[in-house]
Structure 1
Amino acid sequence: MATLSERIPSPSSFERTSNVVLAIAGAFLIAVIVWFSTENQIYTIAVALIVGYLLLGVRIVRPTHRVLIEFLGKFQRFGGPGFYWVLPGFQKLYAVNITEKMVNATRQEIITADNLNATVDAQVYFKVKDDEVNVKRSQYNVYNYEDQIVNLARTTLRNIIGTLSLKSANSERSRINDELGKVLKTETQSWGIEIVRTELKEIMPPADVQDTMNKVVKAENEKIAAIDFATARETEADGLRRAAIKQAEGVKQAKILEAEGQAEAIRLVNEAADRFFIGNAQKLKSLEVTESALKTNTKIVLPEGQQIVNVIGELAGSKLGLQE
């Protein structure tokens, strides 16, 4: 098995420089103090070297990291944030970042089920679990887990999208994200990391296919708009037709009622004529003419020798007879 030093990148140049500068500054300060306090130069040099050596082992670990310490290439102990001193040349301290990180699965072309080349890009968010067992797993069970996650994500995306058509892949992004996350969580269980989430950034078809799809979508939208317009016109025409039918039915009903009223009036007049004017048709006719003239404010021309009082009397008598 490879040692931890082969798996974890070496400390940054800034950290190495800081440790060396600290050691040199401390050694120089002690050397100056000893130089002026004693005349033994060998003793002064020895003290300075010892102080510098001790200062080279000083380490400060932030709360965002966990510590693995090796002694002569063998794991010795695990630690959290704080102050550490290691024996330079014999012990090595490695600080493992446990904060959430993101890796880009790098754009790749994937052939879909309908034989189209889709350009796919995705991101994976993960973090190292902060307990001792999982921190050790992240360093001892996998070589460079970030690269491994990227490669695994790319392979998984090819397997998933390769079974879908381009249209299905674009419409089922949430499903692809879910399947990608499940596969990554299963495959990385022994790596000591937690897959927080996955995000499918884009699925881009070839330019000519994209142009065709845009035209199809535009035509479909225009078709829907035309159907909606035709439906609206049909609804409007149906409403007008129903209104015309209602109006015609109203006119018809009014005429029926009017005709029924006239028929009823004629019936009543006939009954009155049969009852009160049998054998005296001249008086009935005079009554009808007089009543019509009174309604229309028409002048009445009386027959020669006929008194108006007699006519009015006869009219009144006829009406009284009708009321009886």
Structure 2
Amino acid sequence: MITYTLATVIVLVLALIISMFRVLREYERAVVFLLGRFYEVKGPGLIIIIPIIQQMVRVDLRTIVLDVPTQDLITRDNVSVKVNAVVYFRVIDPKMAIINVENYLEATSQLSQTTLRSVLGQHELDELLSARDELNKDLQGILDMHTDNWGIKIANVEIKHVDLDDSMVRALARQAEAERSRRAKVIHATGELEASKKLMEAAEILNQSPNAIQLRYLQTLTEIANDRTSTIVFPLPIDLVDKVKSIANKHHE
């Protein structure tokens, strides 16, 4: 009986000694408490934790990818949209991450959701669609400021999707079509203006030489005569024959 008891004690002591040794990976740290009070941060490698009087909490120092759930929000121009994002952060102070907040993962997730709604709700829809880089920087700065007391560093924030309802998609399509039509009309009007200026310059040059006007008249008749698909009535100036005779006489001279 005594032998059995002694063997049991030896086994318990060995198990207690073995449990004192912990191995932490390179990216892990142990926040150690001594009788409930903070003692120190240990790791990585082999550490010793005295059972009963010391407790430890493992903290991962790698960058964590947090997927922010889709949030319903109303933009400043009263458009209802659904937005989701992804947040990249890491723990830079294990002591603060364990002592200052109950669950830093959950706290960062909830803070990201509320910040996403409040910040993006202050902007118009066009900014959400075209100015994402600026919005990402704004979100990162605000989150980083609030999580600084938790020992957390926000590395990056990226808006993933901005979803609109079908009616808004159709409205945007009509707006884009109207914008394309407006640009086409502006380009056409600009072309007409430039063409009218060139025609005015040509008319002024032709007006300085009556013979040139008559030659242009004959050229136009020749071009129209080549088209035999229709009958064209073209007015003939009274002095055209005289002008042609005058030109012919100049060539004979």
Normalised to the residue count of structure 1, the TM-score between the two structures is: 0.56
Q: Take 1:147 and 1:179, find their aligned partners in 2: how far apart are those partners?
A: 21
Amino acid at match of 2:40: R
Q: Does 1:178 align with 2:141?
A: no
Offset at 1:185?
Answer: 2.1
Q: Take 2:96 and 2:132, find their aligned partners in 1: how far apart are those partners?
A: 32
Q: Whose helix fraction is larger, Structure 1's or Structure 2's? A: 1
Amino acid at match of 2:167: D
Q: Please, which of 48, 52, 61 is the counterpart of residue 98 of structure 1?
A: 61
Offset at 1:60?
Answer: 0.9
CA RMSD across the alignment: 3.0
Gaps of 5+ in 1: 1-39, 254-295, 297-324
Gaps of 5+ in 2: 213-252
Offset at 1:199?
Answer: 1.5
Q: Take 2:79 and 2:23, find their aligned partners in 1: how far apart are those partners?
A: 54
Q: Does 1:56 align with 2:15?
A: no
Q: What fraction of aligned residue pairs are identical, expressed as a percent?
A: 27
Deviations along 1:152-203, whole A, 9 cap, x unmatched? 2222233223333323433333332232222222222211111112222233
- Answer yes or no: is the 8 Å Cα contact 1:119–1:204 preserved in 2: yes
Pair 1:42–1:148, CA change in 2 (3 A)? closer
Larger Rg: 1
Q: Take 1:156 and 1:86, find their aligned partners in 2: how far apart are those partners?
A: 40
Q: Secondary structure at the match of 1:107?
A: strand
- Answer yes or no: is the 8 Å Cα contact 1:166–1:205 preserved in 2: no
Partner of 1:128: 91
- Answer yes or no: is the 8 Å Cα contact 1:69–1:94 preserved in 2: yes
Amino acid at match of 1:203: V
Q: Please, which of 180, 194, 201 is the counterpart of residue 221 of structure 1?
A: 180
Offset at 1:45?
Answer: 3.9
Offset at 1:250?
Answer: 7.8
Q: Secondary structure at the match of 1:188?
A: helix
Pair 1:85–1:238, CA change in 2 (3 A)? same
Q: Please, which of 72, 76, 91 is the counterpart of residue 113 of structure 1?
A: 76
Q: Does 1:88 align with 2:47?
A: no
Offset at 1:44?
Answer: 3.9
Q: Take 2:135 and 2:188, find their aligned partners in 1: how far apart are those partners?
A: 38
Q: Does 1:164 align with 2:115?
A: no
Pair 1:78–1:250, CA change in 2 (3 A)? farther
Q: Take 2:37 and 2:138, find their aligned partners in 1: how far apart are those partners?
A: 39
Q: Take 2:41 and 2:116, find their aligned partners in 1: how far apart are those partners?
A: 36
Q: Does 1:188 align with 2:151?
A: no
Offset at 1:79?
Answer: 1.5
Amino acid at match of 1:70: F
Partner of 1:11: none
Q: Whose strand fraction is larger, Structure 1's or Structure 2's? A: 2
Deviations along 1:59-97, whole A, 9 cap, x unmatched? 111111222112332222212311123233332222211
Q: Does 1:71 align with 2:30?
A: no
Q: How many residues align?
A: 212
Normalised to the residue count of structure 2, the TM-score between the two structures is: 0.70
Deviations along 1:7-66, whole A, 9 cap, x unmatched? xxxxxxxxxxxxxxxxxxxxxxxxxxxxxxxxx555444333322222223211111122
Amino acid at match of 2:54: Q
Offset at 1:233?
Answer: 5.6
Offset at 1:243?
Answer: 5.6
- Answer yes or no: is the 8 Å Cα contact 1:104–1:123 preserved in 2: yes
Identify which of structures 1 and 2 has the higher relative contact order when contacts are C-alpha pairs closer than 8 Å and 6+ apart. 2
Q: Take 1:173 and 1:239, find their aligned partners in 2: how far apart are those partners?
A: 46
- Answer yes or no: is the 8 Å Cα contact 1:61–1:83 preserved in 2: yes
Partner of 1:205: 164
Provide runs of 4+ in structure 1 moved above 6 Å: 250-253
Deviations along 1:253-308, whole A, 9 cap, x unmatched? 9xxxxxxxxxxxxxxxxxxxxxxxxxxxxxxxxxxxxxxxxxx9xxxxxxxxxxxx
Offset at 1:126?
Answer: 1.3
